[in-house]
Amino acid sequence: MKVLVIGGGGREHALCRKLKQSSKVSKLFAAPGNDGIAQIAQCAPDIKATDIDKLVNFARDNGIDLTVVGPDDPLALGIVDHFRKKKLRVYGPTGSAARLESSKGFAKDVMRRHAIPTAGHKIYDKPGPASEYLKNCDYPVVIKADGLAAGKGVTICHDVDEGEAAVKEMMIVKRFGEAGRRVLIEDFLQGEEISVHAITDGRTILSLCLAQDHKRALDGDKGENTGGMGTYSPLPQVSEEVQDQIQDEIMVRTVHAMNRDETPFSGTLFVGVMLTKLGPKVIEYNARFGDPETQTIMARMQGDLFDVLWAATEGNLDSVDVEWDPRAAVTVVLASGGYPREFEKGYKIHGLENDFGPDVTIYHAGTKRVGGEWFTNGGRVLNVTALGTDLVDARKKAYAAIEKIRFDKMFYRKDIGWRALK
């Protein structure tokens, strides 16, 4: 089978590597991919993940049997609907179903009507009423742009001044463009946040192993929010009971809700869940695999990813199963100075030629290869994923591998997994 993966980051590198291991995959393509992915797949670097027409043509011209969508933007643009219209098989939710991620207002409405636990909130489409609310509410509050803002449209505000500034940035300065036309003001939830992934065909839910991301740029969860600086799995601090509660009250209810609303969801449902004193609550929905959660999850997944994704598109996910490696996995993101804001590109990367051993995989998130040498080409540059007998061992192996890699302005968090190890 010929498989096309859409996207070009570390997540897509991990999906490609896992798909490549399947005996059913005869040829692997990626669009745009990246120079790291190009070592294992044929890339189409000139086709952006949002060039829907070009992607449709590419899939048709190359006889692609299955397309797997990595990032959120093409899903929000309805790439799945476009592919299906042309009778091309594609893994991911339709544009309507992807609104769970692309519109926070839509997601809140689904959760309210179907009693899915989440933070209380108000929605505003004008700055005046939002400011009025901010004068008398309890702090902290969380202010969010309604639409997609690359993980940056969320501000935690501790007083009315911070609140006003956030509303101004979104609704008047329009830092996030259309995405900030509507804002949500949400109650602040206290607790530990985890990443819950499931693959679903709209009927059956195949739970993937739990992971935890570290979203802040600096050690000790300090600094700005990023797309994610590192992940680990399993999460020994989450009891079976809480896991069951997440399944019953969040995952099952969400898939049922989408069916009842006649926008069935098939694809990857990735829920950011806050473990509060009052039980698990939804922080946000994503309609795709997490990055860098996927790197860690794929390290532990045993079984054929192609079979699973194919079954999800067939609607017979109940026919497949996966096992989980009992070992622990840790992924550390190597980023370029300045990320998540301005950063420079083009620094030479040293050390990738090292032998990192069988338990370590280096994924390329933002690199470029010029004449056999590697250079940085993004904010998140490389992801180092290690398997170990337990978290301590996996972490030791990941950081030992990082010792062998260097580039100017390289930075990374040194405390990935700290909540499980404290």
Q: Which does 286 bind (CB under 5 to 8 A by kind): ligand AMP, ligand GLY, none?
A: ligand GLY
Kindly tell me which residue out of 12, 35, 146, 186 binds ligand AMP, with binding defined by CB under 6 A: 186
Beta carbon nearer to ligand AMP, 192 or 390: 192
Q: Which does 283 bind (CB under 5 to 8 A by kind): ligand GLY, ligand AMP, none?
A: ligand AMP
Q: Which candidate, 139, 270, 158, places its Cα nearest to that of 212?
A: 270
Q: Which amino acid is at 31?
A: A
**Other C-beta atoms lying within 10 Å of the C-beta of residue 342:** 8
Q: Which residues pair with 271 in a beta bridge?
A: 196, 285
Q: Least distance in Å: CB of 115 to ligand AMP? A: 18
CA dihedral 268, 303, 394, 68 (to 10 degrees): -30
If binding is defined by CB under 6 A, does position 193 make contact with ligand AMP? yes
Q: Which candidate, 44, 43, 70, 37, places its Cα nearest to that of 383?
A: 37
If binding is defined by CB under 6 A, does position 213 make contact with ligand GLY? yes
If binding is defined by CB under 6 A, does position 287 make contact with ligand AMP? no
Q: Which residue has the tokens 């996927």?
A: 294
Q: Least distance in Å: CB of 284 to ligand AMP? A: 4
If binding is defined by CB under 6 A, does position 284 make contact with ligand AMP? yes
Kindly tell me which residue out of 50, 131, 225, 245 binds ligand AMP, with binding defined by CB under 6 A: 225
Answer for the pair 213, 292: CB distance below 8 angstroms, yes or no.
yes
Element (H or E) spanning 295, and its range? helix 293-300
Q: Which residue has the tokens 């795709």?
A: 288
Q: Which does 291 bind (CB under 5 to 8 A by kind): ligand GLY, ligand AMP, none?
A: ligand GLY
Contact mark string toward ligand GLY, 275..304, x via CB under 6 A: -----------x---xx-x-----------
Q: Which does 349 bind (CB under 5 to 8 A by kind): ligand GLY, ligand AMP, none?
A: none
Q: Which amino acid is at 99?
A: R
CB-nearest residue to ligand GLY = 228
CA distance 261 to 69: 24
Q: Which amino acid is at 189?
A: L
Beta carbon nearer to ligand GLY, 58 or 176: 176
Q: Least distance in Å: CB of 305 to ligand AMP? A: 25
Answer for the pair 191, 273: CB distance below 8 angstroms, yes or no.
no
If binding is defined by CB under 6 A, does position 188 make contact with ligand AMP? yes
Q: Least distance in Å: CB of 143 to ligand AMP? A: 9
CA distance 17 to 112: 39
CA distance 330 to 198: 19
Contact mark string toward ligand GLY, 222..261, x via CB under 6 A: -----xx---------------------------------
Beta carbon nearer to ligand GLY, 100 or 311: 100
| Pairing relationship of beta strands 66-69 and 2-7 according to DSSP bridges | parallel
C-alpha separations of 341 from 79, 177, 222 in Å: 29, 17, 15
If binding is defined by CB under 6 A, does position 154 make contact with ligand AMP? yes
Name the phi and psi angles at 206, rounded to 5. Answer: -105, 110
Exposed e or buried b per residue across 294-328, where buried means at least 16 C-beta atoms within 10 angstroms of its C-beta: bbbbbbbbeebbbebbbbbbeeebeebebebeebb
398 DSSP 8-state letter: H
Q: Which residue stretch of 12-20, 188-196, 227-235, 311-319 sits at the interface with ligand AMP (rule: CB under 6 A)?
A: 188-196
Q: Which does 208 bind (CB under 5 to 8 A by kind): ligand AMP, ligand GLY, none?
A: none
CA distance 195 to 204: 19
Beta carbon nearer to ligand AMP, 179 or 401: 179
Kindly tell me which residue out of 99, 108, 214, 215 binds ligand AMP, with binding defined by CB under 6 A: 215
Q: Which candidate, 159, 246, 158, 254, places its Cα nearest to that of 202?
A: 254
Q: Which residue has the tokens 């969010």?
A: 144
Q: Which residue stretch of 22-30, 39-47, 182-190, 304-312 sits at the interface with ligand AMP (rule: CB under 6 A)?
A: 182-190
Beta carbon nearer to ligand GLY, 101 or 249: 101
Binding residues with ligand GLY: total (CB under 6 A): 8
Binding residues with ligand AMP: total (CB under 6 A): 13
Residues that bind ligand AMP (CB under 6 A): 119, 142, 151, 154, 186, 188-189, 193, 215, 225, 272, 283-284
Residues that bind ligand GLY (CB under 6 A): 151, 213, 227-228, 286, 290-291, 293
